[in-house]
Structure 1
């Protein structure tokens, strides 16, 4: 967990403001959920490995004997926990407030989440998530809206050229069934397949055999990975999808993915040299969350070799809380990664002035000078003159201030000489 210094905080808020503005432009409404959720919801078996990283809150009023008795049962000791993502709280929120929400609900949720990660570069125990979700729509329109809004936000941040890798969990299940993997071994098989881009076909095949997967299924999968392939470029569409899957892929799944691409293309301005459909079909995209039931996707950018966000369809989650199935799909931008890539810019208040005053200037005069500049649209900070005047101005510039003025006793408000910094 980190303290955020003023310049970094201003930058983060600027990025968040752009993301919020673009999401709202696409018809999403912002909501807020509590930092705490019930222990039973956070450990319902739908959060994957994140459930193991949850910070749990000890029940109030437990005596020492009760703590000893429950040492092997976390549920007996904790009744609440800090949210480890925004999707589980959203499902509970929708189930609790459905009567006051539209039939198709488009939600923005931005806020901190907590995971007991092992601290390392890029891994924080408290970090910001920026999610958009659509509940109540089982058509390809929902995925297309999410992808279009997310790409629009990324473009607005100056990160043009992003693409979305896309797959469908149903296609993965069909493919594993085609190769002959038994249903009870698929969870482990998917964990290994998810490493394909890191360890390659040889590594995947070797690890699958080490796991004890059916030999005939591993042989069939390895043969598929090594099949001869032509190198011609195929834009996103039916041909690209079918070439990435074994023969006779289900028409319904292929049509769903094609429909997403067509809708995303319609949402974007055509430009020379830019693919109108910034989607890439990846038949081996897995994503680790156990609650995904259909389409899954990840956001990629050519400047980095890691994903900048992702999401997918989780049609089965809300039903756990509501007792009635509701289709749902979401997309989460990796804010902590995005904010480090956004180019440095001046704070939105371009006219930011430091008033450097002598010690003998009366407070009433200082506040009169400050008010005159604020009324003119400036951001204003008061600083008493120090011996190291240059260092004072450099610090102010580092904090985002663009100009300064020297104030002496008796100066008339509005008559100061404002000079640019730098």
Structure 2
């Protein structure tokens, strides 16, 4: 959990303002949910490994004897928890407020979440998530809207050239069935496949041999994993089928092909999609399309998401289709080039000790009325550290203020 100095906070807010604005023009409406949810909801088995990283909140009024007696049963001590993502709160929000929402609801949530991570570069215990979700639309139109809105947002942030790796959990399941993995082993097999980028085909094969009870299934899958991919080119039905075992088909392939056609029509320059038959996404609640956004400047993904049609029904008692996309804000904020247009009219007024406060207040109000950002600073003995700090805080100019000065006579000098 981090502190942010003024310049970094301003940078983060500039990036967030772009994200909010682009999502808004794509028809998404922003909501807000509490930072805490019921413990039982956060640990309902739909959050995957994130549930293990949740911060639990103790029940109020517990005495020491009660805590000691329940030491082996943490659930008896906690009734609330800090949210570890924004998807579970959204599902609860929609179930609670459905009567006041449109039939197809397009939401934006931009807020901090908390996980008991082992802190390291790029992984924090408190971090910002930027989610867009569409609830109530079972068609591929929802995926198209999410993908185009996300790519447009990255373009506007100056991260042009982004692409989306895409797959479908139904295709993954069909592929595991094709090789002969038993149904009860498939969740564990997917966990291993999800490590492909980290441990490679040999590592995946070795782990699967220790996990699966069907050696023939493992051998067939590892052989497929190591094959030379078919040269089909582009993104479409032929390319998708060429990347899968022979004979594999189904609605999921057709759906991905339709998504590619629509995204290409919206973008107007090729298809920024790449079919990845081994993309898994670790969250257990995904039921259909899954995707991750990539950028050529970095080796890691800048966000991801997928369809989770079964989650809201857990809270509402009836099935409601849903799909979402989350931008990895903490990852992209350092990639976005800092813009100077927000600070070109930021002025530090360095005033003498004897300037009356009434003059300073009037002068500051006049400059603010002209559209400037203004900070008052009393002149120190050594001016350089003050000006260096002002530059670091995003100010572009300074002016010396003496008693009797007015806005028209100020000489604005550039900083830096």
TM-score, with length taken from structure 2: 0.98
Q: Which residue of 1 aligns with 2:274?
A: 280
Q: Is the 8 A contact 1:373 1:414 kept in 2?
A: no
Q: What is the RMSD computed on CA atoms of the aligned residues?
A: 1.2
- Residue 228 of structure 1 deviates from its aligned partner by 4.0
More divergent stretch after superposition (404-413 vs 336-345)? 404-413
Q: Which residue of 2 aligns with 1:388?
A: 382
CA distance in 1, matches of 2:66, 2:19: 47
Q: Which residue of 2 aligns with 1:93?
A: 93
**Helix, strand or coil at the partner of 1:340:** coil
Q: Which residue of 2 aligns with 1:273?
A: none
- Residue 347 of structure 1 deviates from its aligned partner by 5.5
- 1:73-94 Cα offsets, whole Å, 9 max, x none, are 1221000000000000000000
- Residue 188 of structure 1 deviates from its aligned partner by 1.5
- 1:279-320 Cα offsets, whole Å, 9 max, x none, are 000000001001000000001111111111000000000000
In the TM superposition, what are the counterparts of 1:69-148 in structure 2 within 5 Å?
69-148=69-148
- Residue 227 of structure 1 deviates from its aligned partner by 2.9
More divergent stretch after superposition (232-241 vs 167-176)? 232-241
Q: Provide structure 2 residue ranges, at least 5 long, that are not aligned to the other structure.
A: none
**Helix, strand or coil at the partner of 2:278:** coil
Q: Is the 8 A contact 1:347 1:400 kept in 2?
A: no
Number of positions where the alignment pairs a residue of Structure 1 with one of Structure 2: 416
CA distance in 1, matches of 2:175, 2:32: 39
Q: Provide structure 1 residue ranges, at least 5 long, that are not aligned to the other structure.
A: 271-275
In the TM superposition, what are the counterparts of 1:196-235 in structure 2 within 5 Å?
196-230=196-230, 232=231, 234-235=233-234
Q: Which residue of 2 aligns with 1:29?
A: 29
- Residue 353 of structure 1 deviates from its aligned partner by 0.5
Which of these residues, 328, 335, 342, is aligned with residue 334 of structure 1? 328
Answering whether residue 370 of structure 2 is matched by residue 408 of structure 1, we say: no
In the TM superposition, what are the counterparts of 1:240-259 in structure 2 within 5 Å?
240-259=239-258
- Residue 211 of structure 1 deviates from its aligned partner by 2.0
Q: Which residue of 1 aligns with 2:311?
A: 317
CA distance in 2, matches of 1:92, 1:229: 42
Q: Is the 8 A contact 1:358 1:385 kept in 2?
A: yes
- Residue 233 of structure 1 deviates from its aligned partner by 5.7
**Helix, strand or coil at the partner of 2:75:** helix
Q: Is the 8 A contact 2:91 2:312 kept in 1?
A: yes
- Residue 263 of structure 1 deviates from its aligned partner by 1.2
In the TM superposition, what are the counterparts of 1:182-201 in structure 2 within 5 Å?
182-201=182-201
TM-score, with length taken from structure 1: 0.96
- 1:204-231 Cα offsets, whole Å, 9 max, x none, are 111111224410101111221233444x
Say if 1:410 and 1:350 are closer, same or farther in 2 by CA, change over 3 A: same
CA distance in 2, matches of 1:108, 1:253: 27
Say if 1:221 and 1:411 are closer, same or farther in 2 by CA, change over 3 A: same
In the TM superposition, what are the counterparts of 1:151-166 in structure 2 within 5 Å?
151-166=151-166
- Residue 68 of structure 1 deviates from its aligned partner by 2.1
Q: Is the 8 A contact 1:368 1:413 kept in 2?
A: no
Q: Which residue of 2 aligns with 1:374?
A: 368
More divergent stretch after superposition (178-187 vs 409-418)? 409-418
Say if 1:198 and 1:354 are closer, same or farther in 2 by CA, change over 3 A: same
